[in-house]
């Protein structure tokens, strides 16, 4: 005990002040990268900054944001979900076929798929399996099911879903309202409620949690079930926008969702996630993905590569800033 | 232990001794626990009365932590009985212990680093929920921190990972004393002051005295013997999974405590044998200064010497061994190594063994250069090396090509020794390699080490078992990452080592 120097209260609080500022900076980072992308778009094409422009540019941001939130729940428990993209695709196929033709069956299938997610959480916890392996396997299962349901692109979204996604509120474009709503609801649920603390704690120090008498099985199941729920919402939102489905429609979402969580200030381990950040991260990626590149006159052949380059730059900036913190 | 004998009241079946029920918060009878082949607790009787502060002392691995895990409900005894307030608990568990008012501050920090102080408080209280729980949790922990550590300057909204280790420990201690719905009867404090400075440690111990004076109970585990002597009402001493003494604190003084912990009976030493073998000082093999060393102390080893590294577990011995190992490959300031080095890992499952490989392959891996024939490993030379060491060190197996896991734990450890001794290494670093090894194997390996040292090999031997130090020519005692004492063969006594490693410098 002689090793610990007696630190004065003043020194301790200034040290913590510095850490708090660094945390604030990191918290603002997602918002700053979004602003940066918006500025670039405004500079390249000022007309895009309008009600109509935003509605168009952020059209696909809602499903991406929902998929990112789904991934965030999994990451909050120190796991990773490599199947969320094909799961979104599977949900999309169910939405465009069963949910329209036989709503009850469709709803049951979707509910069942959420249960499958919950069971995966239980399996991963009980057998102590690496989630990457389990979800990688499941990604093929979802993809296969999607192809069985819809061997070739087609189907049609239910009318109520189409009219919901086509909703045009006054003044503020619908995608922005939806993003705010998603962020607020999830933030409240995960960051403010008393059980949200337990869910995040399971990623922070699982041993401490089980010593305090909490069930880690339950936290894992709840986190995976929430991931399944938001995956379903994402798939439905996506079909509401595209109006018809394709078995491969969600494949890109897996990596977009992981990137969105990390871009939004989350970390792969330690239960450090931010729902608001994740939504902002998803918006940034949605904007950086195609509108920005189109305005930059990058030919479609190169857009995917340019997209990857943007991801690397933005994530590298995040790592650099959080490293300065230490 | 005159008092302990009279205090033991057995609880038979459902029968309750009401006299005892009023006195004892918790009582364990014949608690036994095995981890694989290791016996952590050998039928321990232990009890804590109301309004009593029990000090619990003993070496690393004496079974203190295992016993406390049972009291807290995190571990179940293999056999034996737990009774709380005279009532036998058949399904004892953490939630049950909490209902009964038994809490524990574990040695490892158990805050969630990503949560705030208030949120961490919420984890221990299921009733902190619903509207306004954040305010309630914050008020609860802030009030308790104020009570125990006046002037602490910790805010309930601070994130745990932002706090210094001392402050985290303060939060953890304060959290254990917060009360919502469940009662609070007994708090186990496992090394509560290890990260606190003298001032806050004093605040905490003062609070513990007030807490106990209020009729509550406390178990205090500490390596700072002065703390235990000064604050406990009764002291329980554990050794090798047994309670060896239990007496009023007044009946102990420092020396008696140290003697009881270390084993009073003088062990016959191999000292004479070693003393005669004490080599002429050979050429220098290792000169190393721990990274945190501030004074001029350094570890020096010559050819043919067996050097012991002692002190409490995790006080920098392994770090120094690893630093020496690294310095052999790449020059490092403060460390001089003049010969090839091999390391015998302590945690053989994770750091030592290649699980998919045969016994012969596991031995040969450190000597691949010698086993090579052109670009390939010669199976013949590998087999020769393996057979040589099988005979020499006595690895009990019908076939050295069997998988390594076909061997018992002790024989697996022999394989690791054969790997190091069969190599060209003149310096062998041993990171507490005898953990969980039976005495027969140990004696065989000791003989081999002395023989090899006689041939000029140098051994640096970190061990948590004090008896093993009898095999060493020279012992360095570590504390907080520093060398605090250098004892020669003649000065070496168990008391000396304990005195140095426990030294209440504060």
Collect all residues of chain B within an 8 Å Cβ-Cβ radius of residue A5.
197
Q: Is the pTM of this model over 0.80?
A: no
Work out the percent of chain A whose per-residue pLDDT is above 90: 58
A203 pLDDT higher than 90:
yes
Burial of B296 (0-12, 13-18, 19+ CB in 10 A): exposed
Question: A2-6, A30-34, B369-373: lowest mean pLDDT where?
Answer: A2-6
CA dist., res. A236 & res. A162, Å (int): 10
Residue A80 and residue A240: Cα distance in Å, rounded?
A: 27
- How many CA atoms, within 13 angstroms, populate the side-chain half-sphere of residue A220? 22
Determine the average pLDDT of the residues in B178-182: 88
Whole-number pLDDT of residue A15: 64
Interval B448-497: pLDDT, tens: 888 888 888 999 999 877 777 888 888 898 888 888 888 887 787 777 87
B112: nearest CB among A4, A16, A201: A201
- Asked if B159 lies within 8 A of A23 by C-beta distance, the reply is yes
- Which value does ipTM take for this structure? 0.88
What share of chain B has pLDDT > 90, as a percent? 23
- d(CA A163, CA A208) in angstroms, rounded, equals 48
Residue of B nearest to A325 (CA): B162
CB A95 within 8 A of CB A235: yes
- Examine the pLDDT at B12 and tell me if it is beyond 50: no
Chain A residues with CB under 8 Å of B197 CB are 1, 4-7
Q: Write out residues 1-20 of A within 8 Å (CB-CB) of B.
A: 1-7, 9, 12-13, 15-16, 19-20
The pLDDT value given to residue B11: 40
Quickly count: other Cβ atoms within 10 Å of residue B153's Cβ.
16
Q: How far apart are CA B464 and CA B466, in angstroms?
A: 6
Domains and their CATH numbers in chain B: 2-101+182-262 (3.40.50.300), 112-179 (no CATH), 271-502 (3.40.50.300)
How many other CB atoms are found less than 10 A from the CB of residue A42?
14
Q: Which residues of A touch B123 (CB under 8 A)?
A: 197-198, 201, 208-209, 212, 214
pLDDT tens string A249-259 = 998 899 899 99
Interacting residues of A319 by C-beta distance below 8 A, sequence separation 6+:
none
Q: For residue A322, which of A13, A23, A18, A32 has the smallest C-alpha distance? A: A23
Query: Taking CB atoms and an 8 Å cutoff, what residues of chain B touch A1?
Result: 193-198, 201, 224, 506
A288-311 tens-digit pLDDT: 877 788 788 888 888 778 878 877
Mean pLDDT of chain A: 88
Give me A57's structure tokens.
Answer: 């540019």
β-pair type (B234-239, B53-58): parallel
Query: Are B189 and B219 within 8 A, CB to CB?
Result: yes
pLDDT at site B107:
65
Q: Kindly list the residues from chain A whose CB atom is less than 8 angstroms away from the CB atom of residue B99.
A: none
Nearest by CB to residue A4, choosing from B122, B166, B224, is: B166
* Cβ pair A4:B165 closer than 8 A: yes
Cβ(B154)–Cβ(B163) below 8 Å: yes
CB-CB: which of B95, B112, B506 is closest to A208? B112
pLDDT band for position A7 (cuts 50, 70, 90): very low
pLDDT of residue A10: 43
The reported pLDDT for the residue numbered B138 is 95
Kindly give the pairing relationship between strand B299-302 and strand B284-288.
Answer: antiparallel
Smallest CA-to-CA distance from B198 within A3, A222, A312 is with A3
Tell me the DSSP string of A188-254. Answer: IIIIISHHHHHHHHHHH-HHHHHHTT--HHHHHHHHHHHHHHHHHHHHHHHHHHHSSB-TTTTTTHH
Please say if the pLDDT value at position B263 is more than 60.
Answer: no
- pLDDT score recorded for residue A133: 95
- C-alpha closest to that of B365 among B345, B338, B346: B345
């Amino acid at each position: 005990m002689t090793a610990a120097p007696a630190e004065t209260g003043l020194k301790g609080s200034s040290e913590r002040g510095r850490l708090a500022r660094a945390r604030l900076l990191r918290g603002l980072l997602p918002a700053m990268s979004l602003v940066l992308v918006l500025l670039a778009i405004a500079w390249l094409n000022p007309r895009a900054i309008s009600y109509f422009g935003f509605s168009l540019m952020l059209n696909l941001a809602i499903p991406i944001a929902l998929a990112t939130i789904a991934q965030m729940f999994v990451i909050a428990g120190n796991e990773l979900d490599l199947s969320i993209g094909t799961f979104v695709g599977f949900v999309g196929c169910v939405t465009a076929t069963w949910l329209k033709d036989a709503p009850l069956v469709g709803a049951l299938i979707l509910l069942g798929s959420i249960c499958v997610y919950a069971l995966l959480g239980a399996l991963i916890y009980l057998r102590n399996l690496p989630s990457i392996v389990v979800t990688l396997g499941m990604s093929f299962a979802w993809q296969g099911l999607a192809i069985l349901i819809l061997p070739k692109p087609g189907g049609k979204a239910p009318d109520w879903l189409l009219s919901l996604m086509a909703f045009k509120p006054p003044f503020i474009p619908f995608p922005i309202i939806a993003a705010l709503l998603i962020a607020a609801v999830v933030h409240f649920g995960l960051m403010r409620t008393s059980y949200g603390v337990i869910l995040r704690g399971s990623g922070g120090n699982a041993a401490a949690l089980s010593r305090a008498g909490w069930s880690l099985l339950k936290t894992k199941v709840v986190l995976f079930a929430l991931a399944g729920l938001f995956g379903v919402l994402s798939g439905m939102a996506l079909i509401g926008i595209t109006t018809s489905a394709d078995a491969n429609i969600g494949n890109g979402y897996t990596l977009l969702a992981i990137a969105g969580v990390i871009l939004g200030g989350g970390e792969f381990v330690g239960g450090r996630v931010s729902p608001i950040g994740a939504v902002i991260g998803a918006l940034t990626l949605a904007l950086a993905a195609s509108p920005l590149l189109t305005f930059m006159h990058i030919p479609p052949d190169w857009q995917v590569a340019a997209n990857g380059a943007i991801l690397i730059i933005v994530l590298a900036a995040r790592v650099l800033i959080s490293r300065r913190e230490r | 232990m005159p008092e302990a004998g009279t205090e033991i009241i057995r609880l038979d079946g459902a029968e309750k001794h009401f006299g005892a029920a009023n006195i004892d918060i918790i009582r364990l009878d014949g608690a036994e626990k095995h981890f694989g082949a290791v016996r952590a607790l050998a039928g321990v009787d232990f009890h804590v009365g109301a309004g009593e502060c029990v000090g619990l002392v003993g070496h690393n691995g004496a079974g203190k932590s295992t016993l406390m895990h049972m009291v807290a409900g995190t571990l179940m005894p293999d056999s034996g009985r737990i009774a709380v307030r005279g009532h036998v608990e058949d399904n004892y568990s953490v939630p049950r212990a909490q209902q009964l008012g038994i809490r524990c501050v574990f040695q490892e920090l158990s805050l969630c680093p990503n949560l705030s102080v208030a949120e961490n408080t919420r984890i221990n209280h299921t009733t902190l929920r619903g509207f306004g729980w954040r305010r309630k949790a914050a008020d609860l922990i802030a009030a308790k921190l104020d009570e125990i550590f006046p002037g602490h300057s910790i805010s309930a909204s601070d994130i745990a990972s932002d706090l210094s280790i001392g402050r985290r420990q303060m939060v953890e201690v304060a959290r254990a004393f917060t009360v919502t719905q469940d009662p609070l009867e007994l708090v186990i404090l496992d090394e509560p002051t290890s990260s606190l400075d003298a001032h806050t440690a004093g605040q905490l111990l003062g609070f513990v005295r007030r807490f106990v004076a209020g009729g509550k109970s406390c178990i205090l585990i500490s390596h700072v013997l002065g703390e235990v002597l000064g604050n406990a009402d009764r002291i329980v001493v554990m050794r090798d999974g047994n309670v060896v003494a239990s007496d009023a604190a007044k009946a102990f003084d420092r020396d008696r405590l140290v003697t009881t912990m270390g084993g009073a009976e003088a062990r016959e030493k191999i000292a004479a044998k070693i003393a005669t073998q004490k080599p002429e000082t050979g050429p220098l093999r290792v000169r190393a200064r721990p990274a945190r060393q501030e004074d001029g102390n350094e570890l020096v080893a010559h050819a043919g010497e067996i050097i012991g590294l002692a002190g409490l577990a995790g006080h920098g011995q392994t770090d120094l061994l690893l630093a020496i190992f690294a310095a052999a490959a790449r020059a490092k300031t403060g460390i001089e190594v003049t010969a090839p080095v091999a390391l015998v890992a302590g945690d053989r499952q994770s750091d030592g063994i290649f699980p998919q490989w045969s016994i012969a392959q596991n031995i040969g891996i450190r000597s691949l250069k010698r086993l090579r024939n052109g670009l390939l490993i010669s199976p013949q030379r590998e087999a020769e090396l393996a057979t040589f060491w099988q005979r020499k060190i006595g690895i009990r197996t019908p076939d050295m090509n069997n998988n390594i896991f076909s061997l018992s734990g002790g024989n697996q450890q022999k394989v690791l020794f054969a790997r190091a001794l069969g190599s060209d290494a003149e310096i062998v670093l041993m990171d507490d390699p005898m953990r969980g090894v039976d005495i027969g194997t140990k004696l065989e390996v000791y003989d081999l080490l002395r023989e090899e040292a006689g041939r000029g090999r140098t051994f640096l031997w970190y061990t948590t078992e004090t008896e093993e130090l009898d095999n060493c020519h020279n012992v360095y005692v570590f504390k907080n990452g520093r060398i605090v004492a250098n004892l020669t063969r003649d000065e070496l006594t168990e008391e000396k080592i304990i005195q140095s490693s426990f030294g209440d410098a504060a």
